[in-house]
Every structure is written in C-alpha cells, then in structure tokens.
Amino acid sequence: MKFRNLLIIAPLLLILALLLGCEAEDPGAPLPNKLPDTRIVVAPLEGTEYDHYVSPTKLFNIQWFGSDTDGIIAGYYVQIDNGLAVWTTSTDSAIAFEASEPDSNDASRLLENHTIRITAVDDLGDSDPTPAIRTFWAVNYMPEVSKFTADFEEGDTVGRGVYFEIEWADQNISDALVRLNIDGSPVTNWDSRLKFQFCETALGTIVESIDTINVYPVDISLLRAGKRSISIEVKDLGGAISNAFVRNVFVAEGVLPKVTAFTASYGGTDFFPDGSIFYDDNITTVMSIQATAEDYFGIIQAYRYRMRYRAIGDTAAWIDWPDWSDETWSGSTIEFTNLNLGEYQFQVQCRDYTGALSEIYENKLAIVTPDLGGMTILIVDETAAGNDRPGSPADSTNDKFWARITADLPDDGWTLSSVDIDSVGRISPLHVYNKNIIIWHAGDYSSILLSENLGILEQYLEAGGKLIISGWSSLKAFAADPASLDLTFEADFAADYLRITEGHKNPDKEFAGIYGNSEFGCPDLTIDPEKLPSRWNGLMNNCWIMTPGWRSEAICTWKGPADPVSSFEGKTCAVRNYSPVYPWRTMILGFELFFAYEDQAKEFIEWAVTDISQ
C-alpha cells in the first residue's frame, strides 16, 4: 500500500522540484509594430476638374480615415499642396480650393492644380509611409456685378452724398467680397456689404442713422468734385475677381437738398389745402414733410422743424422762432398730440448725407372751431369766365352785379367777405368758421365746383351754419349724370341738407321769372331781356323745378310764357329748409339771380338774408 502511494506522489514531487529549482526560458523580443494605413474616402477624383466650392454646402467636405491593425490611430497630418502639414484628430475638414491661373482654353475661368495629402499616425508615433494622396484641378469662374441699383445713370451730375447698391452673380456660387474704387483706386476694403452710402462720416448723427450691418458708409472726401469714375469689383472666396463695373459721373459741389411738400392730417383726416381744419378733442396731428435731392441724386438723411403759435384772429406779430430741434433729427413724419385751437407756423429743413442743409420751408396750420353767432356773410363766386356776351357773363361782370345787390347789407350790420372758388378750388374751415351765412352763386352754366365742396359745407351746416345757393348749374352738383334732366335724391347732400327729393331741368327757353310766396314775404322776380340774346325773347332755359322734402317749403314758383304755357308753370323753383330739429338752415334757387332785373335781385337777396337769419 505504501509503495503504491509513493508511485503516485513521485511525479508530483518532480514537477514541484522543477518549479522551485529551475528558471523559465526567455521568450525573446516582442513582435514589430505594424504601420498605420490612410485612405481618403471623400474628395475630388484623381486628375479631374472640380468647382473650387465643390459642395452645395459652400465648402467641400473632405473625409478620410486611418487604420492600425495592432494599435489605434492617434491623429493625422493634413497637407494641402506645399503648405505646412497640420496635425488633427478629426477625420474630415471643409476646405475651399483656390483657382488663380487663367485657363488658356476658356477666358471666363481660372484653374489651379491642388494636392491633398493625408498621413495617419498611430499611438506609437509611427506614420503611414504611403500617405493618401489626391490630385485634381480646381475650377473657378469669375463673378460679375449683375445689377447696379442707383438713381443716377452714366454721365449724370451727382452730389457727393449718393447711394447705390449692387447684386453679384457667379456661375459656381461661393460667398464673395466687394470693393469700391474711385478713379480706379480702392477706397474700401474687401467687404461683404453690397450697399454704399457716401456720407459725412465726421457727423456722428449721420453715421448712427445708417444700417452699417448692411450699408458701407464711405466718407464724402473720397468723392471729390469733377469727373469721377465709380467702380465695383467682386472677389469670390476662391480668389477670382470680377471685371470692374464702372459708372462715370460728374460730381457737383455745393448742391443742396430741397423740401418740396408739407402735409398734415388730423385724426386721420387731411387738413384742407390752406392748412385748416375744424377742432376735435384728443386728436393726434401727424405732420409729414417731403423733400428731394433728385436734382443731384443725393439722399435725404433727416429732417428738423420748429414751430410757433398764436390765437386765431390774433393780429399781433408772431413770437420769435424757438431753437431748432437739432437734437431730434428725425424721419419725415412728426406727431403732435392734441394741438389746441389756433394758428401754427412751421419751419422745416432737411439734411442730406453730406451734412448739407436745405433752405427753410415754411407752412401754416390752423385749427378752428365754428363761431357763427355774428352777422357775417361769405359770398362764394363759382362763375367761370364767360365771353361777356348776352347769356354768358364774364366773371368780373358777375362780381360787380353781386357787389351792387349786396351793397346795402352792411347798413343793416352785416360784414361781407368773398372768395373766388376758381382761385382756391376748395373752401376750408378757415374760410367759413366765423361766417353766419354762406351765399354760393354761379353766374353761368359751365362751372360745377360746388360738388367738390360738399364735405366742408356739411361740417359747416352741422355746426349751425346757413347756406343760400343760387345758380342754374347748382343741381348738377348733386347728380351722378350732370346731363340728366331728371334727378332723384335719397341719401345725399340735396336730400339731407337742402331737403329736396327730386329735380327737373327745363331744356327749353321757358323761364321768365318767379312768383314769390307771399306767405313768407318772398318778392317776385322777372328776367331782364337785356341780359339774354334777343332771339331768346326774354326767356331762359336750363332752370330747375324741385320737389320739397320733409320739413322744407316752397318759397317761389315758376313763371313762364303766357302762350304756350310751360309744363313747369307754377311748379316750385326754390326751396328753404328751416328744420326745428337740426341746427342748419338752407335755401336753394333753381335759377341764377344775375339774369333778373338788378333792383328785383337786390330786393330778393336782402329778403333772403333776413329770412334765413331769423
């Protein structure tokens, strides 16, 4: 038994003796390091021609990778052409390739041969002995100025504060930079902005007003007076420079901008042409100034104003002008909150980008309120220039007639004033705000300006004014078709204020005068044959009859020939409206007083003024 156990243990003791009494054999040197390998996976193909900006993402994205079978890649050396090798751990890079040599076969483009060399380096510092290389041709078409936008053309005379902008195009699009030249010499750096404003750069308020992110401010000293060449060049990011776009101009010295218009609105309503308007509470007045530098193609940079005030009707001298609003050079629109009643005189100036000031432009505004309690009459003459033969009075003849038939009204306390509507076009609040009565007359058939003044007459009547209309063309003012013989009025001035519902014009020579309504004391009138052609036999045509509306009354009726009797005979030819509900009073005559006997016309107008003022 013991012998058998020794046989089993002996091999184990031998192995243990070997382990304890002998050294291990030396395995020798390690395996040699395997070199990395480099490949380019995205790049122009060998020997081919490519846009210098190959990718639609502006820059060509070159991609590569390296491999190392017994380690890892620590990074890469990237070399373009003969440039320095750049160390990177990235596996791609966006690169633009310049093309700067003229192509002998195509004058519109540039060529240049480029080499991309990528060398992988492993974690032991060993490099790929056979770097990845790609050689190709970069092609770049030259950009061009595709559009030049300016107010001036070739050969124009311009001021020193001109503005212009350009657009460029490129067959193989990349970003680009722009340079401005004067007389062939650069006056700006290469810059991405496409808009240029010559300006007085020493004035901070001018430069501050320029959008310098998009507009390049160029000092006016660079654009000297005389014949000058303004040229633009465009350079793309591949280095190709366009042919210069050239515009030749003559630069004038000392030309000034000019304020050309001054308008204002009152709560959204335009002031009348004479600058007046009726007052309303809490209204914002917006003043708009317009100016031009068109004579020399400059640009208006800013505006300033000053204002002075006096009460309506104040005959004293205006106060001295305050200081200019220099600290608030502004745009062309200025707002004032709730200007009070009164007259406002404005002086405005504009300034161009050279710092030159315009001459002072003056205008006035008047904000008035109706004051109709006095004894004042405004006589509005709408008579056009007739030939002064019978039936066609000249304007001066008609004026003299009205002066004579109203000559005694001042004896009764009335104050008279007049306006020739042909000279002003429109009456305004300033004309009527303090007139108790308006007499509107037209001495011939050709003038029809009443229709252009109904808006101001509505405002006047709503304030309690009184209106007398005399004239054979008067009802035409309320007609869509002035040639019509029959008119119907529903909701317009004639129906609402004159209170007539329809009118009918007699085209025949059948009007001999009127029978006054004795109930109201209205006198009769007879046509003066001396004022008509003899062949008319003392009778007129184109006079009107009308139908009184609600709360209106006939003040006279048509008088025609005895034989044959006119179908208009005895019809209403003048209406008055004395509404107890509304504040206004109106009277409209379907004929013109001028053609009546003068003494009768005088008696009639004196009666009408007394009657309408009660």
Q: What is the pLDDT of residue 481?
A: 74
Final residue of a structural domain among 89, 115, 141: 141
Q: What is the pLDDT of residue 422?
A: 82
Rounded mean pLDDT of 95-120?
88
65 neighbors 128 (Cβ within 8 angstroms): no
d(Cα 174, Cα 235) in Å, to the nearest integer? Answer: 10
Q: What is the pLDDT of residue 484?
A: 80
For the ranges 55-69, 88-102, 569-583, which has the lowest average pLDDT? 55-69
Within this chain, do residues 132 and 151 fall inside the same structural domain, yes or no?
Answer: no
Does a structural domain hold residue 394? yes
Q: What is the pLDDT of residue 15?
A: 32
Rounded mean pLDDT of 162-191?
94
| 8, pLDDT greater than 70 | no
Mean pLDDT over each residue of the chain, to the nearest integer: 88
How would residue 3 be classed by pLDDT, with cut points 50, 70 and 90?
very low
Residue with tokens 């078709």: 481
Does a structural domain hold residue 11? no
Within this chain, do residues 460 and 516 fall inside the same structural domain, yes or no?
Answer: yes
Does a structural domain hold residue 1? no
Does a structural domain hold residue 9? no
Task: Give, as one character, the DSSP assignment of residue 497.
Answer: I
| 29, pLDDT greater than 60 | no
Q: What is the pLDDT of residue 489?
A: 79
d(Cα 29, Cα 16) in Å, to the nearest integer? Answer: 29
Within this chain, do residues 494 and 598 fall inside the same structural domain, yes or no?
Answer: yes
Rounded mean pLDDT of 156-167?
95
CATH code for the domain in which residue 78 is found: 2.60.40.10
How would residue 462 be classed by pLDDT, with cut points 50, 70 and 90?
very high
Higher per-residue confidence, 351 vs 95 = 351
How would residue 450 be classed by pLDDT, with cut points 50, 70 and 90?
confident
Within this chain, do residues 486 and 530 fall inside the same structural domain, yes or no?
Answer: yes
| 465, pLDDT greater than 90 | yes
| 476, pLDDT greater than 80 | no
Phi, psi of 494, rounded to the nearest 5 degrees = -60, -40
For the ranges 79-83, 162-166, 290-294, 326-330, which has the lowest average pLDDT? 326-330
Q: What is the pLDDT of residue 404?
A: 97
Within this chain, do residues 156 and 137 fall inside the same structural domain, yes or no?
Answer: no
pLDDT digit string (tens) for 396-427?
A: 899 999 999 999 999 999 999 999 988 888 89
List the beta bridge partners of residue 553: 576
Q: What is the pLDDT of residue 334?
A: 86
Does a structural domain hold residue 27? no
Rounded mean pLDDT of 316-326?
85
Residue with tokens 């007739």: 386
Does a structural domain hold residue 257? no
Total domains present in the chain: 4
Greatest CA separation for the chain:
181
Rounded mean pLDDT of 425-431?
91
For the ranges 56-60, 178-182, 314-318, 487-491, which has the lowest average pLDDT? 56-60
For the ranges 14-18, 61-65, 92-96, 500-504, which has the lowest average pLDDT? 14-18
Higher per-residue confidence, 367 vs 447 = 367
CATH code for the domain in which residue 580 is found: 3.40.50.880
Q: What is the pLDDT of residue 54?
A: 57
Rounded mean pLDDT of 339-366?
93
Within this chain, do residues 279 and 185 fall inside the same structural domain, yes or no?
Answer: no
Closest-CA residue to 234 (of 144, 141, 306): 144
Q: Domain of 268?
A: 262-291+300-350+358-367
How would residue 308 be classed by pLDDT, with cut points 50, 70 and 90?
very high
Does a structural domain hold residue 423? yes
Within this chain, do residues 237 and 277 fall inside the same structural domain, yes or no?
Answer: no
Q: What is the pLDDT of residue 187?
A: 97
| Range list of H helices, 427-558 | 429-432, 454-462, 493
Secondary structure class of 369 (helix, strand, coil): coil
Rounded mean pLDDT of 20-34?
59
Rounded mean pLDDT of 9-18?
34
CATH code for the domain in which residue 323 is found: 2.60.40
Please give the sequence-ordered ranges of beta strands (E in DSSP) within 472-568, or none if there are none: 486-488, 500-506, 513-516, 525-526, 543-548, 552-559
Final residue of a structural domain among 112, 141, 170: 141
Q: What is the pLDDT of residue 16?
A: 35
336 neighbors 285 (Cβ within 8 angstroms): yes
Within this chain, do residues 120 and 161 fall inside the same structural domain, yes or no?
Answer: no
Within this chain, do residues 451 and 521 fall inside the same structural domain, yes or no?
Answer: yes
Within this chain, do residues 413 and 530 fall inside the same structural domain, yes or no?
Answer: yes
How would residue 21 be classed by pLDDT, with cut points 50, 70 and 90?
very low
d(Cα 225, Cα 290) in Å, to the nearest integer? Answer: 27
| 14, pLDDT greater than 70 | no
| 30, pLDDT greater than 90 | no
For the ranges 44-53, 338-347, 424-433, 554-563, which has the lowest average pLDDT? 44-53
Final residue of a structural domain among 191, 220, 251: 251
Long-range contacts of 269-274 (CB under 8 A, 24+ apart): 271/365, 272/426, 272/428, 272/429, 272/430, 272/456, 273/424, 273/425, 273/426, 273/428, 274/366, 274/424, 274/428, 274/430, 274/431
For the ranges 154-158, 232-236, 479-483, which has the lowest average pLDDT? 479-483
For the ranges 126-130, 342-346, 384-388, 512-516, which has the lowest average pLDDT? 384-388
List the structure tokens of 398: 């008609």
Within this chain, do residues 519 and 583 fall inside the same structural domain, yes or no?
Answer: yes
Q: What is the pLDDT of residue 39?
A: 97
Q: What is the pTM of this model?
A: 0.69
Q: What is the DSSP string of 381-422?
A: E------SBTTB--HHHHHHHHHHHTTTGGGGT-EEEEEEHH
Within this chain, do residues 155 and 190 fall inside the same structural domain, yes or no?
Answer: yes
b/e code 573-612 from CB counts within 10 Å (16+ = b): bbbbbbeeebebbbbbbbbbbbbbbeebbbbbbbbbbebb
User: How many C-beta neighbours within 10 Å does residue 413 have?
Assistant: 8
Does a structural domain hold residue 6? no
pLDDT digit string (tens) for 200-241?
A: 999 989 999 999 999 999 999 999 999 999 999 999 877 889
Rounded mean pLDDT of 99-103?
84
For the ranges 56-70, 379-393, 504-518, which has the lowest average pLDDT? 56-70
Rounded to the nearest angstrom, the gap between the alpha carbon of residue 364 and the centroid of all alpha carbons in its chain is 23
